Amino acid sequence: MRGGTHVSAVTDATFDLAAGECLALVGESGCGKSVLASALLGLLPENAETAGSAVLPAADTADGVAPFTADRVDLLTADRVDLLTADERTLARTVRGRRVGLVPQSPAAHLTPVRTVRSQLEETLRELAGVRRPHLRAAAEAAAERAAFPAGHLDRYPHELSGGLAQRAATALALIGDAPLLLADEPTTGLDRDLVDRTVDELRRHVGDDRALLLITHDLAAAERIADRVAVMYAGRIVELTDAAAFFGAPGPRHPYARGLLNALPEREFTSVPGMPPELSALPEGCAFAARCDRADEACRALPALTGGTACHHPHADVLEAPRA
C-alpha cells in the first residue's frame, strides 16, 4: 500500500529452480525483482501483503532434486517451511543465513554500523559455521578473500567503506553459511568489470548438488556468464522463462520486451527499449508492455498467460541476429 493505493509489486510469479542451478532474474529497475527476494525472507514492510507459498521441503525429497518457484520454493533442506507464512522467530533463527542466504541490494543498510567488518565476519562464522575463537581470525580473512574483500580493510567500519567494498563485505557474509538457497540481489553494484566477473564466479561456485542460486540483476553480461536459465520480469510479472543458452544465443528471447533488453546491449544493436514502464499502482488490464511494443494489437487488451515460457500474444519465433563483430 502507498498513500492508500494498492500496489501489486509482484503478481503470479512462478518459476522453478533446481538444486545445482543458477537462475538469473532480470528486468528494469522497479519491476519487482527485489520485492520478490524480500518476500522470501520476510523482509517486506509491515503493510505489505503476500499470498501463495514458498516452500523449503524436508530433506527426504523423493528424487533429491528440488525445484524453486516463486509460488513454491523447493530445495533439499532439513525441515519443511513455508517462507511466506513462517513467523519471524522461525525466519530469524532457522531460515535467514542458514537455509536462505542474502546478498542485499543495499549492503550499507544490512551491515552493523558500530562494528568492524572483521567483527561481523567472526560472529557469522561462529553462528553459522561453528568456528571457534582460536581460528576465527584466519577464518574471517579466508571469508573476506572469497569475496575479494581486502584484508587491510577488515578492521574498518561500514561507513569507512566505499559502495563496492560494502558490497563485497555483504557478499562475504552471505557466503559463510553455504545456505541451500542463495539470493543475490544486485551483487555487483559499484564493482568494476573485473570484480563483477570475480564476484559472480564465486557466487556460481556456491552452487552445488544441494545448493542453488537466484541471481537478481540488471547486468545481462553477469547473467550470461553464470546463469543456467533466465527469467525476465516486467511490471511485476514474469514474461519470459528460458534456458540461458537459448536466451543469449539462438533462437534468442521470444518476448518483445526481453528481446529489447538484449538488443540494448552495446555489443548488440545498442538500441534502447522505447517508452517507460507503467506505474505498478496503475497497471493496464491487458499486457503491461503493449504501450511500448510495436507488435501490439487488439489481442493485447487481454492479459497473456505464461505459456511455453513466454507471456505474449505475439512472441518472436525467428532467430536472433548474431552479435556484431
CATH number at residue 165: 3.40.50.300
- Residue 275 maps to a domain: no
For residue 181, being part of any structural domain is answered with yes
Residue 292 within any structural domain of the chain: no
Query: How many angstroms separate the CA atoms of 276 and 265, rounded?
Result: 18
Of the two residues 75 and 42, the one the predictor is more confident about is: 42
pLDDT digits (tens, 9 = 90+) for 188-198: 988 899 999 99
Grid look-up 559463510 returns 176
pTM, whole model, 2 decimals?
Answer: 0.87
φ, ψ for residue 114, nearest 5 deg: -100, 10
- Structural domains of the chain, count: 1
What is the percent of the chain with per-residue pLDDT over 90, rounded to a whole number? 59
Q: Confirm whether 44 is domain-assigned.
A: yes
Q: In the chain, what's the furthest Cα-to-Cα distance?
A: 69
* 84 pLDDT higher than 80: yes
- 191: in domain: yes
Q: 251 preceded by cis ω (within 30°)?
A: yes
Q: Does residue 247 lie in a domain region?
A: no
Give φ, ψ of 75 to 5 degrees.
Answer: -140, 155
Residue pLDDT, tens place only, 17-32: 888 999 999 998 888 8
Residues spanned by the domain of 47:
22-114+158-234
Q: What is the pLDDT of residue 185?
A: 94
Residue 65 counted as domain residue: yes
Alpha helices in 66-111 (DSSP H): 88-90, 107-110
In-domain check, residue 43: yes
Whether residue 169 has pLDDT greater than 60 = yes
70 pLDDT above the threshold of 80 = no
Question: pLDDT tens digits, residue range 283-311?
Answer: 999 999 999 999 999 999 999 999 999 99
Give me the pLDDT at residue 58, please: 62
**Assigned C-alpha cell, 91:** 525466519
